[in-house]
Amino acid sequence: MKIDHEKIVMELNKDLDISKESVEKILEKAKKLKGLNYNEALILLKVEDNELLDKVFETAKYVKDEIYGKRLVLFAPLYVSNVCNNECLYCAFRKSNKDILRNTLTMEQIKKDAEALIDQGHKRVLLVSGEGLGKKALEYTLDALKAIYSVKNKNGNIRRINVNIAALEVEDYKRLKEANIGTYQLFQETYHRETYKYMHQSGSKSDYDYHLGAMDRAMEGGIDDIGIGVLFGLYDYKYEMMALFQHIKHLEDKFGFGPHTISVPRLEPATGSDVASNPPYPVTDIEFKKIISILRITVPYTGIILSTRENAETRREAFNLGISQISAGSKSSPGGYSSKESSEQFSLGDHRTLHEVIEDIVDFGFVPSFCTGCYRLGRVGADFMDLAKPGAIKAHCYPNAIFSFSEYLEDFADDNLKNKGNQLIKNMIKKEIKKNKVKENIKELLEKIREGKRDVYV
């Protein structure tokens, strides 16, 4: 895998037709839900006119609604260690930072954090670890996966664990696959080589090419679902987007399908980091909306993840533009859900509880989803894309979103949210489910959930 730096620079400096007619033609093509090519995405990136930007946002909303509908998948990160051997200038966990308290959780502590998340109502977590455990890292991760999956509490358990850990070799990825993980995430942070070199001054992560090749090795190791991303603010967002599209195309050409998810974090303040507090290339809110919208339009079937780095208002605006997954009730410190013994990786923008976030989502007219059905039925990787591209996500994901949300309402919601949530479910069945047979099946399974059945999916 190689990013063609010269091509990106040449394209960004090229005069392009960004007239109203040109942009509207591209947006009409986007509404056919087949994505855009490299040049068309570049034209949209160059749009600065507010009227045209509004049309880009409207098109992203259309594409999001047509493919994903009004639902949002929820998860929480579970940090297990903030010990790290890397010197990444934007991160509080970097090796030389003496201003934070370090901690690597024991398996019992990991279970306590998992139990705390289950007690909130979570069913999906992202396991995150600093890169300071050396050769023991993989074994520790495999043990942590077993520990989290082992926790059962009342009606709750964690049904899917995604993993964000250091780049590995093919054989290591094979072992991760065997450990029943969901998506393997690893962000390039910045695709600009010189910026990468400056920001990653030492440690294993400082090897740009090895880090960039991680997704090739993961897919060669049999991992079907991968998640990539950029830490926006380290370098020019237009460059990062074009490099991101190169990475996606490489994976599609080599493996037949691209990433399952793309994450779009912006730099937020981090303890002991001047870079995090003063981003070299700050991304405005309008530019951030533009990033999300162009991703949704260009790669319409790829999930887009928004973290609790962003505040509640920004997250609300992003729901319609293309975001399909959000974290909620998050902590970015090891043991953060069951104790306060270690430091966070970065400052959070949204401090609300899971219950508060869910109520806000319901008030916004979206169904919160904890669904893990596709993953457990093997609808992943190329199989998921084959399912998604005919526009069938709604046919499977709406019912499963409704089921997992109904479970949450029965087990964790107060009376006010339960009433609002059940009314939303009724409205969704009426308006969004077209086939009467599917409607009846949903109603039958909802009754079983009310009677105590759990882990329902189709």
pLDDT at 67: 87
pLDDT in tens, 188-212: 999 999 999 999 999 999 999 999 9
> Quick one: which of 95, 244, 265 has its CA closest to 164?
265
pLDDT in tens, 128-182: 998 888 889 999 999 999 999 999 988 789 999 999 999 999 999 999 999 999 9
DSSP 308: T
Q: Which residues pair with 127 in a beta bridge?
A: 78, 163
pLDDT at 30: 97
pLDDT at 1: 87
pTM score: 0.93
> Quick one: which of 397, 392, 401 has its CA closest to 368?
401
Residue type, 25: K
C-alpha to C-alpha distances, 21 to 12, 24, 232, 406, nearest whole angstrom: 20, 5, 30, 46
* Local structure of 268: helix, strand or coil: coil
In terms of pLDDT, which residue wins out, 318 or 385?
318
pLDDT at 392: 59
DSSP 25: H
Percent over 90 (pLDDT), the chain: 75
Position 438 pLDDT exceeds 90: no
Element (H or E) spanning 152, and its range?
A: strand 152-153
Domains, the chain, in order of start with CATH, read 70-351 (3.20.20.70)
Give the dihedral of Cα atoms 140, 146, 150, 151; nearest 10 deg. 40
- Give the burial string for 395-426 (b: 16+ CB within 10 Å, else e): ebbbbbbbbbbbbbbbebbeeebeebbbebbe
Helical axes 170-178 vs 137-150, angle rounded to 10°:
10
Average pLDDT, the chain: 91
pLDDT at 394: 61
Q: How far apart are CA 125 and CA 142, in angstroms?
A: 15
pLDDT at 381: 53
Position 16 pLDDT exceeds 70: yes
Q: What is the mean pLDDT of residues 238-246?
A: 98
Q: What is the mean pLDDT of residues 270-294?
A: 95
Q: Are 100 and 333 in contact (CB under 8 A)?
A: no
Position 48 pLDDT exceeds 70: yes
Position 7 pLDDT exceeds 70: yes
- Per-residue pLDDT band at 251 (split at 50, 70, 90): very high
Q: Which of 107-111, 161-165, 436-440 has the weakest average pLDDT?
A: 436-440
In terms of pLDDT, which residue wins out, 373 or 128?
128
pLDDT at 355: 96
Q: Are 176 and 168 in contact (CB under 8 A)?
A: yes
- Per-residue pLDDT band at 246 (split at 50, 70, 90): very high
Q: What is the mean pLDDT of residues 51-71?
A: 94
pLDDT at 456: 81
Q: How far apart are CA 310 and CA 297, in angstroms?
A: 22
- Per-residue pLDDT band at 90 (split at 50, 70, 90): very high
Which residues touch 149 (CB under 8 Å, ≥6 apart)? 157, 158, 161, 180
Q: What is the mean pLDDT of residues 29-49?
A: 95
Percent over 70 (pLDDT), the chain: 93
